[in-house]
Amino acid sequence: MILIPAYNEAESIQQVVTEACRLRAEPVVVIDDCSTDNTAALAKASGAMVLRLPLRMGAWGAIQTGLRFAHREGSAYAVTIDADGQHDPHGIAALLAPLAVGEADVVIGACPSRVSPARRIAWRYFRWLSGIALQDITSGFRAYNREAIGRLSRPEATLLDYQDLGVLLILRRHGLQIREVEVAMQPRANGKSHV
């Protein structure tokens, strides 16, 4: 299952959904975080199933809603991609490959060259504090296996803005294997990130 959290992404959502649907046979689900534009309608018209949140929950709330949906539907894996066009759906296969052979429970699409020098310093500090040796700790382009989906669907993972660092800490605490795969990322086509 492909999960796309979205908030006011009308300018890019059609292209992202259309490409994901074209490349992958599994369901594409857009989690609409109370958009005030026509993101939900455009996503549905492009072939996605749309889950509309009743109140604004932010990036992690939208992603966790999608993971809970994937868990309920019995999905063997879930891939999260941004609605703004930064993540190329062609990279999904590379994320899923380590899951398919049991080499990882979570795979992160890494592109550390995309970040500023200040963020690199912050990441280095986090790696030192946590012992998590990942190069791109904030990428939202991730693949989760069934065990990881279940773990992140639980109440312990229900915290606002938990997507990046908190998720990694929870997964590590429970012994899940996290791996990175290098991917290319595009700059945002329009606006700024909301979710």
Task: Give the pLDDT confidence of 104-149 residue by residue, as tens digits.
Answer: 999 999 886 666 777 777 767 777 776 777 777 778 899 999 999 9
Contact 47, 17 (CB under 8 A): yes
> From CA 109, how far away is CA 94, in angstroms rounded?
8
pLDDT of residue 161: 56
Residues 21-73: tens digit of each pLDDT? 998 889 999 999 999 999 999 999 999 999 999 999 998 999 999 999 999 99
Contact 31, 5 (CB under 8 A): yes
> From CA 14, how far away is CA 24, in angstroms rounded?
15
Q: pLDDT exceeding 90 applies to what percent of the chain?
A: 61
Query: Binning pLDDT at 50, 70 and 90, where does residue 9 land?
Result: very high
